C-alpha cells in the first residue's frame, strides 16, 4: 500500500516538475528581453516553489524511507548455530556438518584461495541458499532449514579443473535427534 502511494506521489511530483519545466522553457523562448520586474518576480516564484517542494518532498521521503523492508526482510534474529565454511580448491571445510531443523544457521563463508560460490541444495537438488566465498573476506548467510535431510554444498563459481567435485554434505536433523546424538 505504501509503495503504491509513494509511486503515485512520485508520478504526480514528476508530472508537476515536467509541467513547470515546459512552462519555463516556453516562457524563456518568448521573452528574451525581460525587464527587471519580471526577473524579480521569477526569482520570487522560484524561491517559493523551491521551499514548497522541500516542505512537501522531505516529509514524504522520510516517511517512505522509514517503511523500507530491509529491517523486516524475514531475517530470523533468534540464537543461531554458527558454521564456519572455508572453500578451497576443491573442497569445503565446515566447522560442523550437522544442523538442526528450525534453528537459524549462520554460515560464515570465506575462501582460502580463489572465489567460490557456496550453493546449498536439498535432497531434490533445489537450491535453497547461496553466498559467495571470497579470499580475505567473510560473507554471512543466515538460513533456517525447515526440513530434515542431507543437504549438499556445491560450488557455483567455476574454480578450476575439479570444480565439479567440490561437494560437501550437511546433515540437518530434528531437534530431538540432535539432542540424542549428544548423549
Q: What is the mean pLDDT of the chain?
A: 87
Q: What is the mean pLDDT of residues 84-105?
A: 94
Q: What is the pTM of this model?
A: 0.58
Q: Is residue 160 part of a domain?
A: yes
Q: What is the mean pLDDT of residues 29-46?
A: 77
Q: Is residue 115 part of a domain?
A: yes
Q: In the chain, what percentage of residues exceed pLDDT 90?
A: 60
- Is the pLDDT higher at 175 or at 47? 47
Q: Is residue 35 part of a domain?
A: yes
Task: Specify the pLDDT at position 41.
Answer: 86
Task: Specify the pLDDT at position 32.
Answer: 60
Task: Specify the pLDDT at position 100.
Answer: 93
Task: Specify the pLDDT at position 180.
Answer: 65
Task: Specify the pLDDT at position 69.
Answer: 63
Q: Is residue 167 part of a domain?
A: yes
Q: What is the domain-level CATH number for residue 168?
A: 2.60.40.420
| Residue-number span of the structural domain to which 128 is assigned | 81-173
Q: How many domains does the chain have?
A: 2
Q: Are residues 30 and 114 in the same domain?
A: no
Q: Are residues 125 and 58 in the same domain?
A: no
Q: List, for residues 39-90, the tens digit of each pLDDT value.
A: 788 889 999 999 999 999 988 888 887 767 665 555 666 788 999 999 999 9
- Is the pLDDT higher at 166 or at 74? 166
Q: Are residues 156 and 116 in the same domain?
A: yes
Closest CA to 166 of 105, 117, 106: 117
Q: List, for residues 126-143, the tens digit of each pLDDT value.
A: 999 999 999 999 999 999
Task: Specify the pLDDT at position 77.
Answer: 65
Q: What is the mean pLDDT of residues 108-127?
A: 95
Buried b / exposed e across 20-57, counting CB within 10 Å, b at 16+?
eeeeeeeeeeeeeeeeeeeeeeeeeeeeeeeeeeeeee
Q: Are residues 32 and 93 in the same domain?
A: no
Q: Is residue 178 part of a domain?
A: no
CB under 8 Å to 24, separation ≥6 — which residues? none
Q: Are residues 100 and 169 in the same domain?
A: yes
Q: Are residues 33 and 88 in the same domain?
A: no
Q: Is residue 73 part of a domain?
A: no
Closest CA to 80 of 99, 93, 60, 56: 99
Q: Is residue 71 part of a domain?
A: no
Q: Is residue 132 part of a domain?
A: yes
Q: Which three cell numbers stand for residue 57?
A: 518532498
**pLDDT over threshold 90, residue 1:** no
Q: Are residues 57 and 89 in the same domain?
A: no
Amino acid at each position: 500500500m505504501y509503495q503504491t502511494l509513494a509511486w503515485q506521489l512520485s508520478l504526480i511530483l514528476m508530472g508537476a516538475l515536467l509541467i513547470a519545466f515546459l512552462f519555463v522553457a516556453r516562457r524563456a523562448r518568448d521573452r528574451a528581453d525581460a525587464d527587471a520586474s519580471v526577473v524579480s518576480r521569477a526569482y520570487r516564484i522560484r524561491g517559493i516553489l523551491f521551499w514548497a517542494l522541500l516542505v512537501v518532498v522531505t516529509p514524504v521521503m522520510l516517511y517512505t524511507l522509514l517503511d523500507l523492508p530491509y529491517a523486516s526482510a524475514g531475517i530470523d534474529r533468534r540464537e543461531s548455530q554458527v558454521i564456519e565454511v572455508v572453500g578451497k580448491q576443491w573442497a569445503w571445510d565446515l566447522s560442523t556438518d550437522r544442523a538442526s531443523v528450525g534453528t537459524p544457521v549462520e554460515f560464515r563463508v570465506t575462501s582460502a584461495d580463489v572465489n567460490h560460490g557456496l550453493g546449498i541444495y536439498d535432497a531434490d537438488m533445489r537450491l535453497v541458499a547461496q553466498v559467495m566465498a571470497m579470499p580475505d573476506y567473510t560473507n554471512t548467510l543466515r538460513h533456517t532449514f525447515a526440513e530434515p535431510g542431507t543437504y549438499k554444498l556445491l560450488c557455483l563459481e567455476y574454480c578450476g579443473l575439479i570444480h565439479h567435485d567440490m561437494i560437501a554434505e550437511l546433515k540437518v536433523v530434528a531437534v530431538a535427534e540432535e539432542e540424542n546424538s549428544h548423549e
